[in-house]
């Protein structure tokens, strides 16, 4: 059996700038203002990706003279700008401010922004704070009856728990995520990765197969599938998976890892 070093669970993270979850219907009383704010937020986020510092200035100018809940949009842009610049503490603060500016009844948007704040805290190494934020966000997603969002946030909670060394609790969070968001390939990938780390190869093999069925073009899933196969002594299957990683995205970090694993498995197979 090939003894390959464990791929860090934290590497398999959901990006902070997640695709935006569906927002509630705009209030009928002010459709023009909502539309204008939405368009301005989209433009500000585009600017954040190109020039984070300029977007910070634009977001701060935008929120001048505004009061909640209107400050939520410029604060969200501010969070994106700090995220693009890798200023995780500032991003967390901005996303929390955006969440708190919203009305209590806007549970779906509060959940989305709370999850962004939690991911920023996680990226910045503020693990306990991340866990608190994500727990609140999952509760808000539940209040909004948005199971897919709740499942994705449960997976983020699992990442925080594992980073804190609480793997059994992380496994429980991922079980909840699988129930809530069974079509989310990342949930199954994280489940397989943690099962491998906990030396439960039977579960890891089953869950990585599900992940691959849901997202057959994922280099991260193919990389993990190779690791699980190698640890199970299935070297040919491991090679096929890692080669597919290289073919899918030759310049990616996953391809670099796959090349290292292939070199390792080849060197061991050549040893007397």
Q: Place 266 in a pLDDT band, splitting at 50, 70 and 90.
A: confident
Q: pLDDT digits over 183-217, tens only? A: 999 999 999 999 999 999 999 999 999 999 999 99
Beta-carbon contacts of residue 227 (< 8 Å; ≥ 6 apart):
4, 6, 7, 196, 238, 261
Fold category of 185-267 in CATH: 1.25.40
Region 112-125: mean pLDDT is 98
Q: pLDDT digits over 9-53, tens only? A: 333 332 222 222 222 233 334 444 456 899 999 999 999 999 999
Please report the pLDDT score of residue 62 as a whole number: 97
Q: What is the distance between the alpha carbons of residues 210 and 192, in angstroms, rounded to a whole number?
A: 9
Please report the pLDDT score of residue 15 as a whole number: 29
Please report the pLDDT score of residue 268 as a whole number: 79
Q: Does position 80 have pLDDT exceeding 80, yes or no?
A: yes
Please report the pLDDT score of residue 10 as a whole number: 33
Region 124-129: mean pLDDT is 97
Tell me the three-class secondary structure of 96-133, residue by residue.
Answer: HHHHHHCCCCCHHHHHHHHHHHHHHHHHCCCHHHHHHH
Please report the pLDDT score of residue 51 as a whole number: 97
Beta-carbon contacts of residue 140 (< 8 Å; ≥ 6 apart):
107, 108, 110, 111, 114
Region 158-179: mean pLDDT is 97
Q: Place 76 in a pLDDT band, splitting at 50, 70 and 90.
A: very high
With vertex at residue 180, the alpha carbon angle to CA 158 and CA 216, rounded to the nearest 5 degrees, is 80
Kindly report the pTM of this predicted structure.
0.83
Delimit the domains of the chain by residue range. Answer: 185-267
| Average pLDDT of the chain, as a whole number | 88
């Amino acid at each position: 059996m090939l003894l390959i070093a464990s791929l860090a669970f934290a590497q398999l993270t959901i990006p902070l700038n997640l695709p935006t979850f569906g927002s509630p219907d705009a209030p009928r009383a002010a459709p023009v203002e909502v539309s204008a704010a939405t368009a301005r937020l989209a433009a500000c986020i585009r600017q954040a990706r190109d020039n984070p510092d300029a977007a910070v200035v634009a977001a701060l100018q935008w929120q001048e003279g505004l009061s909640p809940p209107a400050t939520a949009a410029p604060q969200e842009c501010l969070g994106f700008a700090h995220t693009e610049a890798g200023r995780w503490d500032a991003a967390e603060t901005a996303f929390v401010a955006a969440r708190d500016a919203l009305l209590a009844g806007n549970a779906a948007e509060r959940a989305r922004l709370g999850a962004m704040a939690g991911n920023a805290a996680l990226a910045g190494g503020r693990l306990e704070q991340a866990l608190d934020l994500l727990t609140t966000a999952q509760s808000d997603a539940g209040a909004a009856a948005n199971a897919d969002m709740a499942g994705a946030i449960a997976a983020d909670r699992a990442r925080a728990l594992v980073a804190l060394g609480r793997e059994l609790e992380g496994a429980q969070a991922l079980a909840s995520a699988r129930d809530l968001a069974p079509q989310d390939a990342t949930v199954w990938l994280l489940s397989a990765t943690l099962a491998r780390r906990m030396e439960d190869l039977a579960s890891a093999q089953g869950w990585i197969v599900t992940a691959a069925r849901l997202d057959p073009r994922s280099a991260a899933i193919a990389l993990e599938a190779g690791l699980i196969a190698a640890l199970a002594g299935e070297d040919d299957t491991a090679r096929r998976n890692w080669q597919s990683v290289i073919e899918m995205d030759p310049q990616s970090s996953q391809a670099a890892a796959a090349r290292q694993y292939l070199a390792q498995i080849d060197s061991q197979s050549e040893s007397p």
